[in-house]
Structure 1
């Protein structure tokens, strides 16, 4: 392992990027340093050298537990409240498809819910008695506006004599990529006796998560996005008192206990064992988590080190970089009056694109334009960004990360100016 790694260009040398490629879209797929790549390959080689021995007598007996211990310590919770899944979507499906629903039950989600999660909720509405109710708002809304809209939905559900069973909301939403008032929403759920499910896909390694203080009923978070762990690895947090609600994995593994053999409360060890063997996969990425957490301790930014350096740097870089790009484009950064939406490592800049050009009768035109912008930025300029339509405009989400500097945002601004000009001149093809 290395000693100290300053944020910026020196940190970039620890990643396997093509010299001609700039990743300003870390939030989509993440990446990890070459030191962790070596750890990943070591575990893969150990697996293939003695498959049965490694999987049965090393991975399942102690290596997986060591990983869970490292994640639990990082999140400030007991080890047996944390299990691993390949991604946050798998963890989310595991939660909501284990719960039992009856007529009158309602699941609440936000209007910026992750599309895959929304699809799962729609599937539940089609196959169970549960009803889905969205909290509607348009960003940039204030934290209070979002929480007020949430409470209004609770009132409407109560007036219909229905029951809010579960509420789903983000730590940081995907598109737009903004920080949500998840702490306040979790407290509102607790106050109103509603199960809280926090979509922390962009949480761990990105913003401080003190789960002992937050006390959500469920939380899922991708380690492979912001914690510098290889894909795919996510943590599913379930406090002991809720573990009886999750009796099966997806797919159902060998640890499943049928109802006629099940007590009301599953022992914690049984809950953990249920997730230890969910079909045969290459789980080497899981085992890299302790090494990734240790590697991050070497990061420095000014007088700051480790997690403080990483989190503060990526947030500061995203905020400054977003303002630079917005100035270059003559537009704006998505932010509310309180400045809370941008308190994360992603920024959203409005693109100078007229959404009324071309075939305005095409409801999917915004998606087509955004897809063309993303592809053109990647293919012609070697810069990864995430453009998307929202509220009648086209925006771009840019991610800060320890391997980036402000000049990366400046080059992106120049390229985006050229690409947007082509769109406005009609020189784009869906």
Structure 2
């Protein structure tokens, strides 16, 4: 069980006296009765107040489509950019919105004009879609890729040393690492990367930094003025309580001439050798006072961009809870204590390195007590290829958590064993993870009984 001091740290109330956890969940959130959301990290969610703001914007757009899209939307968008600029401590001229972090990473890598011998450096725990983006770019341009291979848990110092070694190895062969892509917090397993130190190391080595902060704003303290990355993108719809899909995309002033095209290419694109006075044939869509970078991203095709406009409402709601520090401290403390408790019930351990840096975030990873040899025997008897077992059991457990337990519990086959990733959030409390521990234990027992290997309908 948790210590009394840490229990006290989780006794947090909003400015209106509503207790974080179940009380806040029932008062402020939109969850269906009987569903417990234990996987905030994947898709996030919004409180009713922010949902209502989004619907107000959507109603205004439907009520007067042209006046809203042409004249009102840019005003609200600038307000959202200014709000994010204050939160991230950076000029609003460095910020635009994109639908998600993957779009931001794609925008960077597809805009860089790579020369022969230039490399994109990635880490083995890069988000899958981003790694495939790198593969696509290396197929269609002269760029090459290089990967730092490892299995968590590893030490931050080792990652920094290996990063420098890999960059110099490429250089020793006549190449150059043009850009490095790395996370703030890895998606799976959910661990914190030493992104601040990696960004500084990029500067020392003459490598551009592209930070995938999918788990960034609202999750960790991000100071872009101090960090000074070349490129940074962070989902707002995961941890900042903004509707899906919304991500803030930061490009340092020194690099804005690199980002010539949005995805898809918008009216703001300027072909080489031409001068375009306005991103669209209609001057209503742009102010001449805005930079080409900001103007380019202001109108990227017709989609529902109302989530972008909800940033001020989300920040106002978070302030009503106590503000960014209160929220992050609660979520990070809850994730750590939840991980300890679940590991204790399961008789396993939390993924962590010797310096305790991996768990300095709102996620924790607990090893599941499933015997690989036992389930491999079940696979053999059932005629299942051994190479399919890891992900097959993962999929079985996740679906089972949905269909029979009224939740979704994220599972991961990693380093030859199974893990669960737990998310700390303001609408959760330790009682929820006490229930989760019993539920996960029961699911693991069902795995070892072989239910996953029995065709549906045959039980």
TM-score scaled by length of structure 1: 0.95
- Determine if the alignment matches structure 1 residue 292 to structure 2 residue 314: yes
- Determine if the alignment matches structure 1 residue 372 to structure 2 residue 386: no
Q: 2:220 aligns with which of 204, 207, 222?
A: 207
Q: 1:422 aligns with which of 433, 437, 446?
A: 446
CA drift of 1:123 comes to 0.6
- Determine if the alignment matches structure 1 residue 91 to structure 2 residue 104: yes
Residues 206-245 of structure 1 aligned to structure 2 (within 5 Å): 206-245=219-258
Residues 169-318 of structure 1 aligned to structure 2 (within 5 Å): 169-261=182-274, 269-299=291-321, 305-318=322-335
CA drift of 1:129 comes to 1.1
Q: 1:338 aligns with which of 355, 358, 366?
A: 355
CA distance, structure 1, for counterparts of residue 237 and residue 353 of structure 2: 29
Q: Residues 394-426 of structure 1: CA distance to partner in whole angstroms, max 9, x if unpaired?
A: 101010000000011111111111111111111
CA distance, structure 2, for counterparts of residue 416 and residue 229 of structure 1: 30
**Unpaired segments ≥5 residues, structure 1:** 300-304
Q: Residues 261-318 of structure 1: CA distance to partner in whole angstroms, max 9, x if unpaired?
A: 269xxx961110100111100001110011101110111xxxxx31111000000000
Would the alpha carbon gap of residues 245 and 29 (structure 1) be closer, same or farther in structure 2, given more than 3 Å must change?
A: same
- Determine if the alignment matches structure 1 residue 18 to structure 2 residue 42: no
CA drift of 1:5 comes to 4.3
Q: Residues 83-133 of structure 1: CA distance to partner in whole angstroms, max 9, x if unpaired?
A: 000111111101100001111000001110000000000111111111111
CA distance, structure 1, for counterparts of residue 56 and residue 207 of structure 2: 44
CA distance, structure 2, for counterparts of residue 210 and residue 4 of structure 1: 30
Pick which of 144-153 and 219-228 moved more: 144-153
- Corresponding position of 2:6: none
Check whether the contact 1:169–1:182 (CA below 8 A) recurs between aligned residues: yes
- Corresponding position of 2:370: 353
Q: 1:27 aligns with which of 41, 45, 48?
A: 41
- Determine if the alignment matches structure 1 residue 133 to structure 2 residue 146: yes
- Corresponding position of 1:50: 64
- Corresponding position of 1:382: 406
Would the alpha carbon gap of residues 4 and 289 (structure 1) be closer, same or farther in structure 2, given more than 3 Å must change?
A: farther
- Determine if the alignment matches structure 1 residue 142 to structure 2 residue 155: yes
RMSD: 1.6
CA distance, structure 1, for counterparts of residue 388 and residue 63 of structure 2: 50
- Corresponding position of 2:418: 394
- Corresponding position of 2:169: 156
TM-score scaled by length of structure 2: 0.89
Who wins on radius of gyration, i.e. which is larger? 2
Q: Residues 339-366 of structure 1: CA distance to partner in whole angstroms, max 9, x if unpaired?
A: 1000000000001112332337532321
CA drift of 1:4 comes to 5.5
Would the alpha carbon gap of residues 91 and 262 (structure 1) be closer, same or farther in structure 2, given more than 3 Å must change?
A: farther
CA distance, structure 2, for counterparts of residue 412 and residue 4 of structure 1: 27
CA distance, structure 1, for counterparts of residue 290 and residue 151 of structure 2: 41
CA distance, structure 2, for counterparts of residue 342 and residue 296 of structure 1: 23
CA distance, structure 2, for counterparts of residue 213 and residue 2 of structure 1: 30
CA drift of 1:2 comes to 8.5
Q: 1:413 aligns with which of 415, 419, 437?
A: 437
CA distance, structure 1, for counterparts of residue 290 and residue 76 of structure 2: 18
- Corresponding position of 2:345: 328
CA distance, structure 2, for counterparts of residue 56 and residue 329 of structure 1: 56
SS in 2 for 1:397: strand
CA distance, structure 2, for counterparts of residue 406 and residue 65 of structure 1: 39
